[in-house]
Amino acid sequence: MSKKKNDDGKKPDDLKNATVIEAAGAVIFRNRTAHANKDNTQNSTENSLNNGNDATGTRDGVDDAPSTIVQAGAVAGPDGLEILLEHRAKYDDWSIPKGKVDPRESLAHTAVREVAEETGVHIRLSAKIAEVRYPLHMDGSEGARDKKHKGGKHHRHQELVKHVTYWAGVPISQEQADTREQPFGHPNPKDNETDRLVWLGLREARERLSYPDDRKVLDAFADFVTAGGDHAATLVFVRHGAAERRKHWSWQEELRPLTPKGAAESLALAREIACYAPSHLFSSPWRRCRQSLEAYSAQSGIAVENMPQMTEDAALANPPAAVSAQEALVAAMAGRGLSDRSTAAAAVCLHRPVLGLLLPLIADAALDHDVADRVPDESPWLATGTGLAVTFTRHEGRLVVLDAHPLTPVVY
């Protein structure tokens, strides 16, 4: 049996030796607007950007037109949602917002930044939903062959391939965007790249999209929503940054601080945490854990709240109490997913032994084996100064983990 070909006739193996361009984007979703209906969705929610306006009436975000959004946290299901598509005048196509990775930038940061720059809509990331890989010319871009690459040398027969990672993107308010702007950075709008935006239901969006790979991404998003993703919450688990070694520390264990390397990890990690726009920060009260979130706390103005059950000593002395505290936090965030999905995200900084108590429970609640395999299953669980963004929901009466995505700060 011959291998299935891509839409341009190339077999998947033909792309293995191509030059890969990394990119990221997001399927931005909200509940259907009050005035949208199946017969007139296009006309009621389409906007031109010729005057600098986005899909909700301003270039700055979604908060200035609250009358167009219905119950942002309510359970909607695939038929009750609409997503944002963009039209690029240069290529005369309709697509899901995405863009290329900048130097020293993570894929998660790229997705949030590119959405803001191309559409004016500020988002927080929910679950990672899809990855696609295709020859560059298939998205309308010029230069399908890499004519100058690797030190200026010409490789005229080197295929250029774009690899795009997509998340589900939840619109946040301008106030939330302002709160996270210092750790995240200020997006620079691309005024000449996108000329029209439209909110469409999933069926209408599938018909409007210009490229087969975008329709595959939309199908993956529909699966995410069917599993309860429209009311999901995200909890970013962080392992504290590199700390002074125990054998070199003679004071109380709870006062052992980060090293200069750990401080750098904290600063870089703040940029990654910002992609999820957490409404709350939690931590073991021990110094090295609190210090790992202090960069984000100081820049955003969100205070770090202590969880005394989560110290190494407390968790080892009473594991059920630590698990109960985490379950209460997860339940509270799941409730936010039902009431206001834009604020249904938090970050919590923990110690290695505590992560060893909690992450196996996360894996046990995974939607499927693929999600479970993305949860670390052995010590040290997470490297120091890194994190794991876990997206979960209440679905059919039980907690279900929809995604687990690593956060690795870019330190240079």
The CATH number linked to 273 is 3.40.50.1240
Do 191 and 215 belong to one domain? yes
pLDDT tens, residue by residue, 309-343: 999 999 999 999 999 999 999 999 998 888 899 99
Q: Which two tokens stand for residue 411?
A: 């330190």
**What is the pLDDT averaged over residues 344-348?**
97
40 shares its domain with 163: yes
Looking at the fold, whether 318 and 307 belong to one and the same domain comes out as: yes
Q: What is the pLDDT of residues 109-129, one digit of tens each?
A: 999 999 999 999 999 999 999
Residue 369: which domain range? Answer: 232-407
Number of folded domains in the chain?
2
> Which pLDDT value is given to residue 164?
96
The more confident residue out of 340 and 3 is 340
Q: Tell me: do 102 and 247 sit in the same domain.
A: no
Residues 68, 186 within the same domain: yes
Q: Indicate if the pLDDT at residue 157 is higher than 80.
A: no
Considering the chain, what is the average pLDDT of its residues? 84
Instruction: Report the distance separating Cα 140 and Cα 9, nearest Å.
Output: 16
Contact between 254 and 160 (Cβ < 8 Å)? no
pLDDT of 58 > 60? The answer is: no
pLDDT band for 151, please (50, 70, 90 cuts).
very low
- 374 vs 49: which has the higher pLDDT: 374
Is residue 40 included in any domain, yes or no? yes
Yes or no: say if 393 and 402 are a contact pair by the CB < 8 Å rule: yes
pLDDT-derived band at 150 (thresholds 50, 70, 90) equals very low
Residue 113 and residue 74 share a domain? yes
| Same domain? 83 vs 98 | yes
Indicate if the pLDDT at residue 412 is higher than 90. Answer: no
| Same domain, residue pair 171 and 318 | no
- Chosen domain end from 191, 214, 230: 230
Residue 48 lies in a domain: yes
Rounded average pLDDT over 304-311: 96
Judged against a pLDDT cut of 50, whether residue 148 lies above it is answered with no
Cα distances (Å, whole numbers) of residue 245 to 154, 258, 380: 49, 9, 16
Is the residue at 147 inside a domain? Answer: yes
- Residue 412 resides in a domain: no
Whole-angstrom Cα distance, residue 31 to residue 71?
A: 7
Structural domain contains residue 342: yes
Share of the chain above pLDDT 90, in %: 69
Q: Are 258 and 240 in contact (CB under 8 A)?
A: yes
Other Cβ atoms within 10 Å of 196 Cβ, number: 16
**Residues 60, 86: one domain?**
yes
Residue that terminates a domain, selected from 212, 230, 248 = 230
The verdict on residue 7 lying in a domain is no
Instruction: Please state the rounded mean pLDDT for residues 376-383.
Output: 94
| Residues 219 and 237 placed together within one structural domain of the fold | no
pLDDT value at residue 45 = 56
Summarised one tens digit per residue, pLDDT across range 252-302 is 999 999 999 999 999 999 999 999 999 999 999 999 999 999 999 999 999
Identify the CATH number of the domain in which residue 176 sits. 3.90.79.10
3-state SS, residue 350: strand
On whether both 340 and 312 belong to a single domain, the answer is: yes
Residues 315 and 337 placed together within one structural domain of the fold: yes
pLDDT at position 241: 96
Q: What percent of the chain has a predicted confidence (pLDDT) above 70?
A: 79
Mean pLDDT over 223-233 rounds to 94
Is 60 exceeded by the pLDDT of residue 53? no
What is the reported pTM? Answer: 0.85
Please identify, among 166, 200, 230, the residue that sits at the C-terminal boundary of a domain: 230
Q: What value does the mean pLDDT take over residues 390-396?
A: 90
Q: Is residue 80 part of a domain?
A: yes
Domain membership of residue 3 (yes or no) is: no
pLDDT tens for 192-215 read 788 999 999 999 999 999 999 999
When pLDDT is cut at 50, 70 and 90, the band that residue 139 belongs to is: low
Average pLDDT over residues 165-171: 97
- Integer Cα distance of 224 and 219 in angstroms: 9
